[in-house]
Structures are given as C-alpha cells and as structure tokens.
Amino acid sequence: MEKQDVDGQAVLESLSGRILNTRYEDIDSETIENTKTRLWDTIGDALGAVPLPDMQALVELVKGWGGKQEATLLGYGVKTPVQDAAFVNCTLCRGF
C-alpha cells in the first residue's frame, strides 16, 4: 500500500466543521440511545473504581502534585489542575 501525504490541518478543519454544524436533530435516534448507554456505562465504571486501593493511591499522588484547583476528580470532590483531573478521571473510567 502506497503512503499518502495527509494535510492534518485540513482534516482537522473538516472534522471540526462537521461537528460544529451538527445539530441534535440531525442525529438518528439509534445513535442517540447507543451514546446514552455508553455514557452511563462509562460513568458507572468510573464511580465503581473510586474505592479501589490503586485509584485512591493515584488520587493521593496527584493531590501531592499541587497546582491550581481547576477541575474536580470524579467521586472524590477534590479539585486539581485540569490536566491532572483529566488524567485521573480517564483512569477512573478504565479502572473498574
């Protein structure tokens, strides 16, 4: 298969344009219901991981890093810098 040059900026602009111009009414009901199911499942996974010892250790580690209190760690009510909250919250979603 031959390698093709891809203009990453053009791809990004095209994708973001489609996202910005999509209205809720444009999305079919099956996709909406499937998305809701997946979101609830992800939230359940995150909350189920909150009491796990490894997650609690991660939260303590991240809290020790300090920094600006910008975003909340799901299930803990602790605020950390946004990038640290994203790290912990994503790990929570995969931790259960």
Predicted confidence (pLDDT) at residue 34 exceeds the cutoff of 70: yes
Residue 66 CB neighbour total at 10 angstroms: 10
Report CA dihedral (69, 70, 76, 77) to the nearest 10 degrees: 80
Specify if 1 maps to a domain. Answer: no
> 38: burial class by Cβ within 10 Å (0-12, 13-18, 19+)?
exposed
- Strand-pairing partners, residue 73, are 78
pTM above 0.95, yes or no: no
The domain containing residue 62 runs over which residues? 28-94
The confidence score (pLDDT) of residue 5 equals 81
Predicted confidence (pLDDT) at residue 96 exceeds the cutoff of 80: no
The confidence score (pLDDT) of residue 1 equals 61
- Dump pLDDT digits (tens) for 39-67: 999 999 999 999 999 999 999 999 999 99
Predicted confidence (pLDDT) at residue 38 exceeds the cutoff of 80: yes
Alpha-carbon span 56 to 72, nearest angstrom: 15
Number of compact structural domains in the chain:
1
DSSP for residue 27: S
